[in-house]
């Protein structure tokens, strides 16, 4: 096994996924917000019909967002493949999907192009390469808006320069329980990092999942940004969380065990489960697995459930969940089947 692969596996206790987002605009067109519908259509045509060389041998699947149903659009939001803003817009727009959803391209978001690659674990390099391969393949066909001084131009001046944002979704329960998270947030601010809750739009991070991303996109090369984020930012946060976990377990083991086992018990027996409650409890299970308190359950399975308990995903699995007011009955059933008395094979798949 290569060093990189070992590192990937060993980080999964804290790093859920990594994300690279690249903002680009076609030269010669106003940005999406100020373009005419005809211009937006033209941008759409140019991007969706661009030959991508050998970069994507299987091509990209293009989803016309105006033809997608509300539930389908919500599904894409829950998978973090599109922004809420993009899902709710009515402009001519499309989502390109490639590499088994590892690469997504929003056309006519705030910028003409928002290329995004999300990969599980700490595979930042791979995510970077994926996003770059699309960026460069497209650049063979179209000209991007570029300024000698400001680099790649974007609708919002906070994205200029490389136009690249690196992000990591981190699971930081111990930092949250110990109250250290506020200190982390302050330190992150000094390092020009943004820290947001991954679930829930507000500052409150449901389930203690946080999205950490770089704020500065200008004045450093793509490689420097990547290197700093990969070799300094993420390892530091991972270390910090691990230390907090150790301290908690040493000083307060019964409390942590109680939390983890109660969460498992609740998920096993609950008859009604809200999405937020399920997310919080599953987060606690994830914490239990990564601290060695829970066996017979994998992080991958918990992560799959975290996705499946989101409303649009749930409705896909249980069509009647959509009719139920909040899908609480269906959600509880789904989770009980996955963790509870039904546990033989995986009946729901």
Partner 1 sequence: MKCDLCDKPALVHEVVIQNGKRVEMHLCTEHAAAKGYVLPTVPVMQMLQQFASTGKAIKAQKSAARRCEACGLTFAEFRQTGRFGCAACYDAFMPSVAAIIERAQSGAVSHRGRTPKRIEGQADRAAIRRQLVKEIEAAVAAEQYERAATLQGRLHQLGMKTNPAADPPTES
Question: Residues interacting with partner 1, by CB under 8 A?
Answer: 25, 27, 29-31, 33-34, 110, 136, 139-140, 143-158, 160-162, 164, 192, 215-222, 224-225
Neighbour count for residue 293 (Cβ, 10 Å): 17
Min. distance of Cβ 183 from partner 1 in angstroms?
Answer: 21
d(CA 119, CA 9): 13
Fill in the DSSP letter of residue 26: B
Min. distance of Cβ 92 from partner 1 in angstroms?
Answer: 18
Cβ atoms 317, 334 nearer than 8 A: yes
Min. distance of Cβ 192 from partner 1 in angstroms?
Answer: 5
CA torsion 323-329-332-338 (nearest 10°) is -60
Instruction: Give the relative orientation of helices 234-269 and 328-339 as an angle to the nearest 10 degrees.
Output: 100
d(CA 205, CA 170): 11
As given in the structure block, the two tokens for residue 130 are: 């994926």
- By C-beta, is 7 or 132 nearer to partner 1? 132
d(CA 306, CA 207): 10
Min. distance of Cβ 118 from partner 1 in angstroms?
Answer: 22
The string over 224-242, giving b where at least 16 C-beta atoms fall within 10 Å of a residue's C-beta and e elsewhere, is ebbebbbeebbeebbebbb
CA torsion 40-95-146-230 (nearest 10°) is 160
Cβ atoms 144, 24 nearer than 8 A: yes
Min. distance of Cβ 29 from partner 1 in angstroms?
Answer: 8
Min. distance of Cβ 111 from partner 1 in angstroms?
Answer: 10
- By C-beta, is 41 or 304 nearer to partner 1? 41
Cβ atoms 162, 221 nearer than 8 A: yes
Min. distance of Cβ 197 from partner 1 in angstroms?
Answer: 22
Min. distance of Cβ 146 from partner 1 in angstroms?
Answer: 5
- By C-beta, is 78 or 222 nearer to partner 1? 222
Q: From residue 8, how far is each of 120, 159, 225 by CA, in Å?
A: 9, 28, 19
Per-position DSSP letters for 119-179, written without gaps between them: EETT-HHHHHHHHHHHHHHHHTTSPBPEETTTEE--SSGGG-BT-EEEEEEEE-HHHHHTT
- By C-beta, is 34 or 295 nearer to partner 1? 34
- By C-beta, is 112 or 259 nearer to partner 1? 112
């Amino acid at each position: 096994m290569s060093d990189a692969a070992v590192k990937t596996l060993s980080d999964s206790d804290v790093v859920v996924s990594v994300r690279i987002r690249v903002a680009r605009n076609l030269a010669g067109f106003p940005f999406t917000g100020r373009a005419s519908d005809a211009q937006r259509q033209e941008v759409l045509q140019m991007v969706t019909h661009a030959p991508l060389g050998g970069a994507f041998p299987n091509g990209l699947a293009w989803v016309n967002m105006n033809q997608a149903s509300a539930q389908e659009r919500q599904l894409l939001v829950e998978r973090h493949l599109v922004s809420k803003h993009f899902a709710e817009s009515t402009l001519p727009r499309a989502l390109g999907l490639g590499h088994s959803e590892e690469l997504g391209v929003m056309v006519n978001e705030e910028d003409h192009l928002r290329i995004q690659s999300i990969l599980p674990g700490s595979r930042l390099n791979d995510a970077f390469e994926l996003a770059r391969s699309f960026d460069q393949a497209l650049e063979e066909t179209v000209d991007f808006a570029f300024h000698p001084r400001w680099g790649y131009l974007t609708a919002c001046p906070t994205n200029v320069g490389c136009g690249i944002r690196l992000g990591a979704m981190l699971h930081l329960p111990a930092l949250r329980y110990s109250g250290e998270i506020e200190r982390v947030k302050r330190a992150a601010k000094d390092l020009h990092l943004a820290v947001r809750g991954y679930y829930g739009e507000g500052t409150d991070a449901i389930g203690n999942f946080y999205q950490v991303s770089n704020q500065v996109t200008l004045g450093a090369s793509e490689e420097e940004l990547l290197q700093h984020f990969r070799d300094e930012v993420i390892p530091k946060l991972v270390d910090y969380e691990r230390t907090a976990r150790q301290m908690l377990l040493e000083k307060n083991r019964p409390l942590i065990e109680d939390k983890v086992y109660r969460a498992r018990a609740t998920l096993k027996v609950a008859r009604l489960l809200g999405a937020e409650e399920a997310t919080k409890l599953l987060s606690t299970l994830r914490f239990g697995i990564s601290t060695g308190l829970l066996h017979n359950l994998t992080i991958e399975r918990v992560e799959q459930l975290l996705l499946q308990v989101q409303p649009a995903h749930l409705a896909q699995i249980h069509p009647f969940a959509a009719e139920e007011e909040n899908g609480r009955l269906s959600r509880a059933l789904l989770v009980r089947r996955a963790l509870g008395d039904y546990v033989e094979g995986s009946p729901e798949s």
